[in-house]
Amino acid sequence: MVIKYLNLYGSRGLTLVRGEGQYVWDSNGVRYLDCHTGHGVAFLGHRNPRIVSAIKDQLDKLITLPSAFDNYLRDEALAALERIIPKGYGYAYFLNSGSELVDFALKVARKVRKRSKFIAFTNSFHGRTFGALSLTWNPKYREPFKPLLSDVEFLKYNDVSSLDKAITDDVAAVVVEPIQGEGGINPATPEFMKALREITESRGVLLIVDEIQTGCGRTGHVWASDMYGVYGDIMLLGKAIGGGVPVSIALLRDEIGNQLGEGDHGSTFGGNLLALAAVRAASEVILYDNVAGRAKAVGSRLINELNNLCKDFKVVREVRGAGLMIGIEMRFDPKPVIQCLQREGVLTLKAGTTVVRFLPPYLINDDDVNAIVSSVSRCLNEETTRRINA
Ligand SMILES: Cc1ncc(COP(=O)(O)O)c(C=O)c1O
């Protein structure tokens, strides 16, 4: 073969061929507990039966249909979604990925507020398209692609004192993750979220809450916004909401959706029928399978056990997170620990520069928690020894 795959993520050196629930299997039949879940996508489990069956049903009917044409499935997906989303959103708009959705939200903010400036925060991650990248903090992702959107200011995450001066009435929107994922599993403080809501509201600035990673029950609440009682004017959903199928959804308040019309945006694949079938089924899983409650119960146990374990290791700075969105912050590069965990049969991923991130499916059970804790223990011992001998 002459053509090579342009892999921009770096290789994990593992060929995975099958997944079910919280597990994946490699080409040699070895089973892994999946706490990577494709950057958090498979939170509802690999091949969740309800989602697989909905997609298979739709495959036999009609695969593609632009939104200019009606279809009952679109209404069903919206009805199912409406049962799990917070109250107050009058419109839903379907796209295909998180980054694309962030770009759409920025366009919407500019159009409805007729202002150009955006505010984001240190350690934020909103994606890699030009708009989303302009609001993403990490210089490593940004520098080679400058100039990005010029009218963006980054404020310190969780610093309430900076908000009043910076969020002036020429700002179109503030974009925030309630818990920063890629940036290092950093939860917002309740005071910060509350102040953000109050100041944006008083200045007519849109608050865009990016729940692409935190949503669908992962934090032990159906939406992280529920944890704070703070809701955006636009809320962004992605990753788990399609159960593995690429789909993202913007929820818009009536006042915002009412100002948008034909031609303001478009997407060939946005809201395609397979995605809608997946969203309908995923919403039902979230509702009927008490996904958030289960994530909260098993997540608290996992966080407690990791905390108990890690306090004895000098290589660890802190364990933090909510529900099943958990990070172990190391004092050093977390890569050797992530590699060790992979050898142990536990797949995790990096966040920030020092964090081992766990984004397991809500289906993990007590045995899985025990397996994770034992593997982390062995890998932290290995890392401690390696550091002493280095
Ligand atoms: C909070 C957040 N926003 C946006 C994105 C971008 O989503 P995508 O990779 O689907 O473009 C991500 C991806 O990790 C994310 O975590």
The pTM for the full model equals: 0.98
Extents of the domains making up the chain: 16-47+291-389, 49-288
Place of tokens 């550091």: 387
DSSP state of 135: T
Does the annotation mark 121 as catalytic? no
Q: Provide the b/e sequence for 323-350 (b: ≥16 CB within 10 Å).
A: bbbbbbbbebebebbbebbbebebbbbb
Q: What is the pLDDT of residue 112?
A: 98
Which H helix or E strand runs over 277?
helix 273-288
CATH architecture of 49-288: 3-Layer(aba) Sandwich (3.40)
From ligand 1's centre to the CA of 354, what distance in Å? 19
Does the annotation mark 125 as catalytic? yes
Check pocket membership of 213 for ligand 1, CB cut-off 6 A.
yes
325-330 and 152-155: which strand pairing? unpaired
Check pocket membership of 123 for ligand 1, CB cut-off 6 A.
no
pLDDT tens-digit readout, 301-338? 999 999 999 999 999 999 999 999 999 999 999 999 99
Q: Provide the b/e sequence for 184-196 (b: ≥16 CB within 10 Å).
A: bbbbbeeebbebb
Q: What is the pLDDT of residue 390?
A: 83
pLDDT tens-digit readout, 112-137? 999 999 999 999 999 999 999 999 99
Residues in the chain with pLDDT < 70? none
Check pocket membership of 212 for ligand 1, CB cut-off 6 A.
yes
For 16-47+291-389, the fitting CATH number among 1.10.1060.10, 3.30.70.20, 3.90.1480.20, 3.90.1150.10 is 3.90.1150.10
From ligand 1's centre to the CA of 311, what distance in Å? 31
How far apart, in whole angstroms, are the C-alpha atoms of residue 91 and residue 255?
Answer: 10
What is the residue with the minimal CA distance to atom 4 of ligand 1? 126
Residue 57: both structure tokens together: 């049903």
What is the residue with the minimal CA distance to atom 8 of ligand 1? 98
Residue 69 phi/psi, 5-degree rounding, is -105, 145
Q: Which of 104, 126, 236 to mutate to test the pocket of ligand 1 (most atoms within 8 A of CB)?
A: 126
CB 40 within 8 A of CB 181: yes
What's the angle, vertex CA 375, arms to CA 7 and CA 362, rounded to 5?
A: 70
DSSP state of 21: B
